[in-house]
Structure 1
């Protein structure tokens, strides 16, 4: 019999007997993100928890922390090369299948989802295939200045099945196919490669581009702010089909064994429907507990990656951090050469 979400968390930390009332340290980021996580933890009263801030790097992660807030790449490094504590992988089977995939990690628990999505005006392209059709949907396009994300989008637009994207990108032929797809878009319209999400937001708001690949949090803010300013439906829309998603994790460190009961309560609070709803509304990121949708405004569903209507397990592509750790340097170098040739106004020489 499968355990509930909270039931699975309850058995996450096992082994050494807990020491009651010891203070547990949780590391998270500065700013709104860390504030929201601290608020979710505080929903459970009388927790002996210290919430401290760090810059997200492995070097800054304190060995005295029990739980460390980390995005996928940093979480993997903490697990593979750092002090993170392995979690029994069999626990992943205890989570209901309706949950977002990859909630359980070998060294921690996922608690929010963000993604790279298609953002456009309401009359713009609504899929990556349409994003590459500038004849039907005129106007410039905005993409991240880098291979990661951009090449996956190109392959999805070229008809590659989600399950085959990274296997294909592992080959020189797959990279060539993605760059050829981008070349075809270049022949139709201008491609603007952005350095920061704020750059992409500015381009979209100024109508300098007709469509942009944009982090979901930034895309959601555009729509939400537009709705508030216009007091009506937004002029912008988000397509989550083919979203490239990442799971934000609370990584378990060895200090968690000093008070397993408090650590369990922290995770329970963050993963509860109430905690998840608080986080989702504050950060416009996707909750991993589907019960959160029962107490969240229906207006948030079109904005967040894990809304049930988006069916992320079927239509989303999990960003493969291990793939990019193994192959990223070579692929990014090849992409940079190709991009430099385009920005210099010459045709790239592809092997």
Structure 2
């Protein structure tokens, strides 16, 4: 726990995760030494600590639930003043604000496919493929590979015909190549490093680590961000924020400042939402992050639609699981050790 006490304001509590993610957010929050903030940790499930928290760190799915069902509260104009004048994306939320971006990206060796369409072309780019074991992410990739415009992906996927089209695209890939469906990102990383697959859909944080840790240029990995499916990590406003909105505003400002954003990006290999942060991020790191200007995420990226998956996820995941049971028999190699 990190705490900073001020006689002018009561302490406010920031609830974040255990581990490196929470450590980085705590460091960004403490960038202003006179900011009276207490950082506590949680496992992503709301507990007693949340009842006294002013801000809670959450993925968009959880943020939506907190806002729709309580106990989060709508963002008021005073707190919105903490936001930078320009943001890479519209990351505002009815009960908070986004502060970092991660995504699902195409990761290959340097001579591998560089688009989702090429990922599905195993004749031109031979070798096994790795995809998440689930409909979410995998079906969006299949539709993008089939030429569906980014703005039409979820409208199509909402229909039975759209799901069929995505599964048919996966069928076509199955006819050309082995598909390994991974359970954890670490599984996909192991497959790539062992050359057990030629290309993988991989969380951007893990992809960036692979590129950073490659021993030499001859074993180079590359990340393709076109068609990245991105998610926004959020700070959600809780009722305790009303007790000292000025301190909460300053806390949001610290996390969203160019200094705080650069610290978070470098520590976590996630994309900052404040474009001014790039002045403090090493040039060698920028190409590995989802929101780098060169990736033009607002135009070439697909925002993961949490509302869509909340409404339709159970039915689509069940259909995908049935399809996978039929197709996966004898497909997956043992994970390398």
TM over 0.5: yes
- Per the TM alignment, residue 59 of structure 1 is displaced from its structure 2 partner at its CA by 4.7
Q: Distance in 1 between matches of 2:213 and 2:124?
A: 28
Could you say which residue in structure 1 is the equivalent of 2:243?
A: 258
1:133 corresponds to 2:121: yes
Q: 1:165 to 1:60 in 2, by over 3 A?
A: farther
1:314 corresponds to 2:302: no
- Per the TM alignment, residue 261 of structure 1 is displaced from its structure 2 partner at its CA by 1.2
- 1:244 match: secondary structure: strand
Could you say which residue in structure 1 is the equivalent of 2:12?
A: 24
Contact residue 54 and residue 60 of structure 1 kept, 8 A: no
Contact residue 58 and residue 74 of structure 1 kept, 8 A: no
Q: Distance in 1 between matches of 2:60 and 2:207?
A: 20
The 5 A counterparts of 1:138-149 are 138-149=126-137
- Per the TM alignment, residue 58 of structure 1 is displaced from its structure 2 partner at its CA by 3.5
Could you say which residue in structure 2 is the equivalent of 1:244?
A: 229
Q: Distance in 1 between matches of 2:218 and 2:231?
A: 28
TM-score (norm 2): 0.92
Could you say which residue in structure 1 is the equivalent of 2:3?
A: none
Contact residue 147 and residue 335 of structure 1 kept, 8 A: yes
1:124 corresponds to 2:112: yes
Q: 1:77 to 1:200 in 2, by over 3 A?
A: same
Could you say which residue in structure 2 is the equivalent of 1:75?
A: 63
Q: Distance in 2 between matches of 1:200 and 1:35?
A: 25
Q: 1:134 to 1:304 in 2, by over 3 A?
A: same
After superposition, the C-alpha distances for 1:75-121 in whole angstroms (9 at most, x for unaligned) are 11111112001125899899789623231100001100000000000
Q: 1:270 to 1:335 in 2, by over 3 A?
A: same
TM-score (norm 1): 0.89
Instruction: Tell me which of 185, 200, 203 is aligned to 1:197.
Output: 185
Aligned residues: 325
Could you say which residue in structure 2 is the equivalent of 1:163?
A: 151
Unaligned stretches of 5+ in structure 2? 1-6, 332-337
Q: Distance in 2 between matches of 1:165 and 1:199?
A: 27
Instruction: Tell me which of 88, 101, 105 is aligned to 1:113.
Output: 101
Q: Distance in 1 between matches of 2:143 and 2:79?
A: 34
Contact residue 102 and residue 247 of structure 1 kept, 8 A: no
Q: Distance in 2 between matches of 1:162 and 1:285?
A: 22
RMSD of aligned alpha carbons: 2.1
Could you say which residue in structure 2 is the equivalent of 1:267?
A: 252
Contact residue 224 and residue 234 of structure 1 kept, 8 A: no
After superposition, the C-alpha distances for 1:222-263 in whole angstroms (9 at most, x for unaligned) are 00111xx33x58600000000000010000001001111111
Q: 1:167 to 1:97 in 2, by over 3 A?
A: farther
Contact residue 78 and residue 245 of structure 2 kept, 8 A: no
Q: 1:261 to 1:95 in 2, by over 3 A?
A: closer
Could you say which residue in structure 2 is the equivalent of 1:284?
A: 269
Q: 1:278 to 1:155 in 2, by over 3 A?
A: same
